[in-house]
A and B are shown apart, each in its own frame.
Chain A
Amino acid sequence: GAVVSQHPSRVICKSGTSVKIECRSLDFQATTMFWYRQFPKQSLMLMATSNEGSKATYEQGVEKDKFLINHASLTLSTLTVTSAHPEDSSFYICSGIRGFSTDTQYFGPGTRLTVL
């Protein structure tokens, strides 16, 4: 199978601090990774597309200076929520595409961020 992990699974932080979330493809190389956020009982909302070695492409309405994405290797992408506020509290999920296949994304288990 294709396994994606996320760390941490849960994080609680104070307002104004920054939080980094890691997304790793454990048994495959992910040339493209995606970051989503999800509110309770709602669907996934794509935040950005991350290609290894290049700048991320952000969806309309997503602040690139607030949600910093780095995809430095074929197995690791990070999302940093800068100067977090309570409204940033959400479930953040990443996914990866194996190699150059464009049809199947493999999802991580998600990270629950709570900003106090």
Chain B
Amino acid sequence: TQLLEQSPQFLSIQEGENLTVYCNSSSVFSSLQWYRQEPGEGPVLLVTVVTGGEVKKLKRLTFQFGDARKDSSLHITAAQTGDTGLYLCAGTIRNQGGKLIFGQGTELSVKP
């Protein structure tokens, strides 16, 4: 079974704090995506990483793809209340027709 372990599953922090979400697997992924989802809406793609060791930045969000393409992290600097939401990592594995394997999700709550 191909699993993508995401942690933590719940995170409650104060505005201004930093946080990191991790996704780990024993499988090698051809690409890994991070999504953010708000209640009652579909997931919105934040970033796609495809190269081992790749780092991408999106304002206060930093995404890393592990050298072996088995793990990834999302780091948020100086969290804001608007960052509240469900964060999902999802990976694709070669020759699986684009099927996404999702992590369990991280429910982030940023309090003022």
Stretch at the interface among B13-21, B36-44, B65-73: B36-44
**C-alpha spacing A6/B44, complex, angstroms:** 15
B99 adjacent to A42 (CB under 8 Å): no
- Known contacts: A42-B104, A43-B102. The answer to whether A107 contacts B42 by CB under 8 A is yes
A44 adjacent to B48 (CB under 8 Å): no
Partner among A45, A103, A110 whose Cβ is within 8 Å of the Cβ of B42: A110
| Interface membership of chain B positions 55-81, coded 1 if the CB is closer than 8 angstroms to chain A and 0 otherwise | 000000000000000000000000000
* A contact face: mostly helix, strand, loop, or mixed: strand
> Is B46 interfacial (CB-CB < 8 Å)?
no
A103 adjacent to B86 (CB under 8 Å): no
**C-alpha spacing A110/B88, complex, angstroms:** 16
* Chain A residues engaging chain B, CB cutoff 8 angstroms: 4, 6, 32, 34, 41-46, 49, 91, 93, 95, 97, 101-110, 112
